[in-house]
Structures are given as C-alpha cells and as structure tokens.
Amino acid sequence: MVAMVNKPSGVNPPAIQVRGLSKSFGDRLVLRDLDLEVSQGSFLALFGANGAGKTTLLRILSGQARADAGSVMVAGCSLPKHATTVRRRIGVVSHRGLLYDDLTCLENLVFYGRLFSLSDPVAQARQTLQRLALDSHASQRVRTLSHGQQKRLAIARAILHRPVLLLLDEPEAGLDRDSVNLLEGLLKDWTAQGGTVVMTTHDQARGAAWAHRAVVLADGHIHEQDAVQVERRS
Amino acid sequence: MTQFLGTVAVLVWKDLKLEFRSRDILVSVLVFGLLVALLFSFALKPSPGEGARLAPAILWVALAFSGTITVTRTFVREQEQGGLEGLLLTPASRDAIFLGKALTSFLFMLAVEAVLLPAFSALLAAPLLSAGIAVTAVLATLGFATLGTLFSAIAVQTRSREIMLPVLFFPIILPLLIGAVESSAHALSGGGFSRWLPLMGVFDALFLVLCPWAFGAIMEE
C-alpha cells in the first residue's frame, strides 16, 4: 500500500499543543483558557453540544481563525507565525465541501494538488480518488454527485497532499454505511502510518469506537472522557 | 517566483474553465452593457459630433457597472462553493491568490470591452476604436479589476454585499474613472494620448502594491 502520510523527519513533537487558548465572539467567550495536547499517530474524538466551540477550535488549529489569547502549536509549528507550513502539513474537512461544482472530481483534486505544489498532481489525484472509491466518477462534475459522494471527495481533497494531521468536522455526517466503513478503514490506516486525526462528531458511540481518546468540549474547556478512554487499536 | 506565477496561472485557468462551463459572468455583463448602449442610442439619437462628446461618459458608466458585476461575481462564486475557504487552506501565497482573482477579473473585463467598444462605437456614432481609447481602457480596467477584487473580497463576507461594494468601492475608484473619462474625451477629440494616462498608471501601480497586502491582512480572519 502506498504511504498516505508524509511524516516529518527528526524529533517528534506533539501533533497539537494548545496552552491557555481563549476565543470570544463579541461578548460571548467560546473557548476559555483551554489546554489540549494530542500526540502524533493518535486519534482524538471531540464531542460537544452545538455551539460548544468545536468548529471554532478546529478553525484555530487550521489557521483559519486567530486565538484571542494563548499559544497554539500544530504539526511542530506555532500559529499564526508559521501558518503556511502548517497548511502544508494539515488536511481539513469542514462542513462545506470546498469543491467547485462545475469541475470534475479529477479536475478539483488536480487543482488543489497544484496549489500544494505536488510533484505529480494527476497521478496523486487518481490514487486518492481510488482510495475513496471514486475512481469511476473521476470525470464526473461535482454537481452531479450525491451528497455522500461529495463528502467522500471532500475527504479526498483533504488527504490529497498526504498531511500529517487531519482535522475533520463531522466527516461521517450524511455518509451511508459503506462510506462510513470506508472512512473508518481510511482513518485506521492513517493513524497506523503515524498520521494524527482530530474528529468532531455528535455520534458518541462511533467517536469512542474509532478514537484512541475522546474529549468533550463544554463551557469553553476540554474535559477528558475517562469512560471512553479507549485502548489503542491494532 | 516560478511557484508564485504558477499559482496565479492555476487560479486563472480554473476560473476561465468554470466560466467557459457556466458562462454566468460574461453573458450577464455583455447583455447589461449592450442594453445600456442601446438605450442611450435610442434616447439620445446622437449625431457623429454629439456622439463623440457624450460617448466617454456613457461608455464609462456602462463599463463601471459591468465591471462591478464582474468583480463581484468572481468572488461570489468562490464564496458560494466554499472555494475561498479551500484556497485559504492551501499553502498558496495570499498575494498569488489575490493576483489570480484580479487577473481573472481583468481578463473578463477586457473580453467584455472588446465586444462593447465596437457596439458603443456603432450605436453612439463615436470613433471609439483608436489607440488612445485602447490604452485608456487597459489602464482603467487594470486599476478597476485590482481595487474591485479587494473590495469584492471584503464585501462578499458581509450580508449586504450588493450594497457594500458600491458604497465602499466607487468613492475610491472615482479618480481613476475621471481619468478614464477625460482621457477618452481627449482621444475622441483627436488629441491622441492624454496627459491623464501617466496618472492612471500611477493609480494602477499603487493599487497593485497595496491591494495584495491589504487582501492578505483581511483574509487573516
């Protein structure tokens, strides 16, 4: 199997190290003095009610939003100082597909591959489409795909450049059972190869089953979930 | 530098491909521009002398509004499909993203002007197909597309973007538009290249330096 993760060489710092992170929107403090550390090769499930700040936390970790206070290290680089390097090392699946409806699946991935300066974007795009069982839809425009297929393509876009850290915001939402199984297999392989995953989900059973560690975001803080602290799966 | 230009080229190619498939920008802008020319032609029924006097103002009103639609649509399309967020998640330089979008708008506007100038020339009985007008159009369009792209990027993130863009954008682009009108009038009166052209070039240079920097700062959050 072709390696999906481009692991950085040298000393292995935590994939994520957050200290004293605060973020507010107007008067509303969403994240307060939050600490979080995620080691490389681990899978963290992030639970929380709607509006708890899960998406905000992921946006800060991906460099899309700035923290009001605190320090954020992602993939060994501090944010926002080394945002460009961080963007090269992370893959993000958000609520939106981040895909162009009038481009085909292959064209979308090749476009993003070129922006990531991949050596052979076409070959890597085809390989990634195959990994997500979308190779038969390569020349199909995104607007003609089903919601689940679009979601799988969004995941393909996120892993195309073989990042070391995947930030997934409810990636399983809207997927059928086969696609969920496909995603589970992909994420299992991902962490087995040393990649790190942070996934938000409302499905606590699934999150606990997939992840090595599960935490809850509530009142702006991270709370460890002892009951679902799961053994690392083989 | 090669990577920077490569990113700009990839972005322009993507936008051209999307426009070729959807045709939602060029068709609407062309129809609007032609409609303006037709309405003024019927309303004023200008003689050749009157046409040369009225054409600069009518032409630049039409090009300013059609240009506004163009710069707005290029960013609205990104926003609607989540592409802007996707672009900002890549390591591509913000300057390259900005210049790619500005160059796309510039090319779209030039394509529209290539159709509208002969149409305005025929309908307003004004000799608009001259070197003086062509240089004026290129300089004005470059500045318009550059500054318009920046304001479009700001406006697209607000709820009332259709109102915000003209309110913020037109007061700042006005000197360039006045230059374009004066320079066009000069060319139509047979004076050749106007003294306004170097000033328009200075505006373009200023916008090309300041706008990418401002775009990077705005897109930080």
- Does A228 score more than 60 pLDDT? no
Q: How many domains does chain B fold into?
A: 1
Can you tell me which residue has the tokens 């792209």? Answer: B149
C-alpha distance from A83 to closest chain B C-alpha (Å): 8
pLDDT surpassing 70 at residue A29: yes
pLDDT tens-digit map of B172-211: 999 999 999 999 999 988 877 888 999 999 999 999 999 9
Distance, CA of B102 to CA of A171 (rounded, Å): 33
Angle between helices A105-115 and A147-159 (to 10 degrees): 20
- The percentage of residues in chain B with a pLDDT greater than 90, rounded to a whole number, is 53
Q: Looking at the domain assignment, is residue A53 inside a domain? A: yes
Whether residue A234 is contained in a domain is answered as: no
Question: What's the structural domain count of chain A?
Answer: 1
pLDDT in the model for residue B197: 93
- What is the reported pLDDT for B221? 61
**C-alpha dihedral (A8, A113, B216, A164), degrees to nearest 10:** -20
**Rounded to the nearest 10 degrees, what angle do helices B196-219 and B161-188 cross at?**
160
Give the pLDDT band of residue A230 (cuts 50, 70, 90).
Answer: very low
Which residues span the domain enclosing A211? 16-228
**pLDDT number for residue A3:** 59
Whether residue A2 lies inside any domain: the answer is no
CATH number at residue A70: 3.40.50.300
Domain range enclosing B126: 2-219
Q: Does A151 touch chain B (CB under 8 A)?
A: no
Distance CA B209, CA B212 (A): 6
- For A90-142, the pLDDT digits (tens) are 999 988 888 999 999 999 999 999 999 999 999 999 999 999 989 999 999 99
Neighbours of B53 (CB within 10 A): 15
Q: Is residue A98 part of a domain?
A: yes
- Asked if the Cβ–Cβ distance from A87 to B87 is below 8 Å, we say no
B188 to B55, B112, B129, B143, B183: CA distances (angstroms) = 9, 20, 9, 22, 9
**Nearest-10 Cα torsion for B39, B40, B43, B45:** -120
The CA distance from A139 to the nearest CA of chain B, in Å, is: 14
Q: Who has greater pLDDT, B153 or B142?
A: B142
User: Chain A residue closest to B88 (CA)?
Assistant: A64
| A87 has a pLDDT exceeding 50 | yes
B157 burial (CB, 10 Å; 0-12 / 13-18 / 19+) is: middle
Is A102 an interface residue toward B (CB < 8 Å)? yes
Q: Is residue A42 part of a domain?
A: yes
A198 in a domain, yes or no? yes
Residue B157 reports pLDDT greater than 80: no
Shortest distance between the Cα of B23 and any Cα of chain A, in A, equals 11
By DSSP bridging, strand A165-169 and strand A196-200 are parallel
Nearest CA in chain B to A100: B81
Residue A9 has pLDDT above 70, yes or no: no
| A80 close contact with B: CB closer than 8 A | yes
Q: What is the pLDDT of residues A152-208, one digit of tens each?
A: 999 999 999 999 999 999 888 878 888 888 889 888 888 888 899 999 988 888 888
Give the model's confidence band at A8: pLDDT under 50 very low, under 70 low, under 90 confident, else very high.
low
Closest CA–CA distance from residue A94 to any residue of chain B (Å): 10
A11 part of a folded domain: no
What average pLDDT score do residues B37-51 get? Answer: 85
* Token pair listed for B72: 């707005």
Nearest CA in chain A to B24: A102
Answer whether residue A4 is part of any domain: no
Q: What pLDDT, on a 0 to 100 scale, did the predictor assign at position B124?
A: 87
pLDDT tens, position by position, B188-199: 888 778 889 999
DSSP string, A15-43: SEEEEEEEEEETTEEEEEEEEEEE-TT-E
In chain A, the percentage of residues whose pLDDT exceeds 90 is 44
- Contact between B124 and B54 under an 8 Å Cβ cutoff? The reply is yes
A43 CB near a chain B CB, below 8 Å?
no
**A196 secondary structure, DSSP code:** E
Residue A1 pLDDT grade (very low, low, confident, very high; cuts 50, 70, 90):
very low
Whole-complex ipTM? 0.86
pLDDT at B64 > cutoff 60? yes
Instruction: For residue range B69-96, list pLDDT tens digits in order.
Output: 888 888 888 877 777 888 999 999 999 9
